[in-house]
Amino acid sequence: MKSKTLPYAISVLLLVSLILGACQMPPTANAQNTITPIPGDLRTIAVTGNGEIVLVPDMAYINIGIHTEADDVSSAVTANNQQASEIKEAILSMGVEEKDIQTSNFNVYSMNQYDNMSNVVGTTFAVDNTLYIIVRNLTMLSELLDAALGAGANQIYGISFDIADRSGAVARARDLAIQDAEAKAAAVAETAGVALGKIHTISVANTSYVQPLAGYGYGSGAMAEDSVSVPIAAGQIVVTASADLVYEFGDK
């Protein structure tokens, strides 16, 4: 009886030893996915930097409208198409490329005519056609508007300005924000008498892109004809960015 129990006991002890040994084995390659918590006693300095780029616009977007009316739809559409074609030719003659001229709106609708007793006495038809123009040479913007008005445009509105290299401006504003944050962190560490360490976290946000709008809009050809010599001021475009940096620090 004892001779049978002893080997069994040895086997159990060996199994337990293997299990305990496995628990004490060093971590395998999978341990690289383990998240190590940030020490609670880590000392940090948090700063916010701001960057701003002020630029002069080098391009513009404008909407040129053509409004026509007639007693029947066909006549209203034909007149509008003819007028739009003449305006387009005038714009092309100013150096604007074909790809930068696009029809953004075309609307046909009827309008009832009323007498003094509010009775419907007839119906006319109206056509509104809007051309969206990209102007890449601002020195010719005023002349282009004059040419469009002279060719029959009776509505000009929605002028906005832009810069061709928008992404480059945003990147420069971001870089300035980070540099500003770095300078602030160094100044804080110097004043506090501590040694600035490595960057712990970086967060870049709050990028804004402010483009000016020009108040150049006309509701009728007569008003436009009296004002074609008014110059267009492009103003300035302001691109801003902010950066939040957190530094570690230690004793000097």
- Residue 30: pLDDT above 50? no
Residues 159-199: pLDDT tens digits? Answer: 899 999 988 999 999 999 999 999 999 999 999 999 999 99
pLDDT single digits (tens) 200-250: 999 998 677 777 666 545 444 433 444 445 467 778 889 999 999 999 999
Please give the CATH number for the structural domain made up of 37-58+163-252: 3.30.110.170
**What does the pLDDT read at residue 215?**
52
Q: Could you give the C-alpha distances from 81 to 104, 130, 232, in angstroms and in order? A: 14, 11, 28
Per-residue model confidence (pLDDT) at position 214: 60
When pLDDT is cut at 50, 70 and 90, the band that residue 78 belongs to is very high
The share of the chain scoring above pLDDT 70, in percent, equals 75
Q: Classify domain 61-160 at the CATH superfamily level.
A: Protein of unknown function (DUF541), domain 2 (3.30.70.2970)
Domain ranges of the chain: 37-58+163-252, 61-160
Structure confidence at residue 120 (pLDDT): 86
Residue environment code for 56-86, b if the CB has 16+ CB neighbours within 10 A, otherwise e: ebbbbebbbbbbbebeeeeebbebbeebbeb
pTM score = 0.66
Average pLDDT of every residue of the chain:
81
- pLDDT-based confidence at residue 144 (cuts at 50, 70, 90): very high
Residue 76 has pLDDT above 60, yes or no: yes
The reported pLDDT for the residue numbered 39 is 57
Tell me the per-residue pLDDT of 85-131, one tens digit each, with 9 for 90 and over: 999 999 999 999 999 999 999 999 999 999 898 888 899 999 999 99
